[in-house]
Amino acid sequence: MKHPLIFLGAGPGDPELITLKGRRLLDEADLIVYAGSLVNPALLQGVQAEIHDSAAMTLDEVLTVLITAWQAGKKVVRLHTGDPSLYGAIREQIQRLAQEGIPCEVVPGVSSAFAAAAALQVELTVPELTQTVIFTRIGGRTPVPEQESLRNLAAIRASLCIFLSVSMIEQVVAELLSGGYPEDTAAAVVEKASWPEQRIVRGKLAEIAQQVREADIRKTAMILVGAALADTPAAASKLYDAGFSHGCREACVR
């Protein structure tokens, strides 16, 4: 019986942030196709598999390698950065593989959005401040539907994790300000979150673009915006409030 073809999330960069299942699958693989421009090559050290870097490959070229290896009975892993469900381009791959009758399994990974939040030591959902997190990007060579423009999303004033947009940071800021975020909204940019060369820039929304340019951050960075990033007092969670009852504890009555 042939194994399903695996789409695996590599995590944000730190080799220790891949899941235990992901590590095992890499070690057991016969062939790995990985996103070489983004995945930390340290993840592939010591593996016995045949390795292909997809950075310069077309979709058809990637699929040819995957299909040929799977049909030969090999254990095949398609390794994507972060979590493959976010900007992973797995949809078209899985659809084409389904046409060939090839079963697939997707194994999640740690998104760079969460690695960036960890680097900043922030909680993206803060009681009575914001309970919504939006993963998005600005339109560029890959367009974004107008109803999902940063200007429209800004009206919600949720916590924003903005992917693939740091090269257009000035436009990002302009759209967010025009959409309703105050100029003093907390903002941060985390370059290469969890990598040894990780860098962090923090400031107010109105000034973050200049800070990013001064730091010469051009790619591989997450933009985070929202009141949850600010180091200001906020309501505490009810979860551990002594006066709050839930399924595991009765409220203390004084």
Residue 231: predicted pLDDT: 87
pTM of this structure:
0.89
**Under 8 Å between Cβ of 150 and 136:** yes
Residue extents of the structural domains in the chain: 5-107, 112-229
Q: How confident is the model at residue 202 (pLDDT cuts 50, 70, 90)?
A: very high
Helix (H, G, I), strand (E, B) or coil at 173: helix
Residue 98: predicted pLDDT: 97
Q: Over pLDDT 70: what percentage of the chain?
A: 91
> Which residues are CB-contacts of 240 (< 8 A; sequence separation ≥ 6)?
none
Q: What is the pLDDT of residues 99-147, one digit of tens each?
A: 999 999 999 999 999 999 999 999 999 998 999 999 999 998 889 999 9
Domains 5-107 and 112-229 are alike in CATH topology: no
Looking at the DSSP bridge assignments, the partners of residue 32 are: 51, 77
Q: What is the pLDDT of residues 53-85, one digit of tens each?
A: 999 999 999 999 999 999 999 999 999 999 999
The residue ranges of DSSP E strands in the chain, in sequence order, are 5-9, 31-34, 50-53, 76-80, 104-107, 133-137, 159-163, 186-191, 199-204, 221-225
Residue 88: predicted pLDDT: 87
Copy the structure tokens of residue 213. Answer: 């340019």
The yes-or-no verdict on residue 237 having pLDDT over 80 is no
| Average pLDDT, integer, range 153-174 | 96
Cα→Cα distances 75→5, 26, 31, 78, 212, Å: 7, 10, 6, 10, 42
Residue 198: predicted pLDDT: 97
**Under 8 Å between Cβ of 25 and 77:** yes
CATH number 3.40.1010.10 given to 5-107: yes
CATH code for the structural domain at 112-229? 3.30.950.10
**Under 8 Å between Cβ of 219 and 137:** no
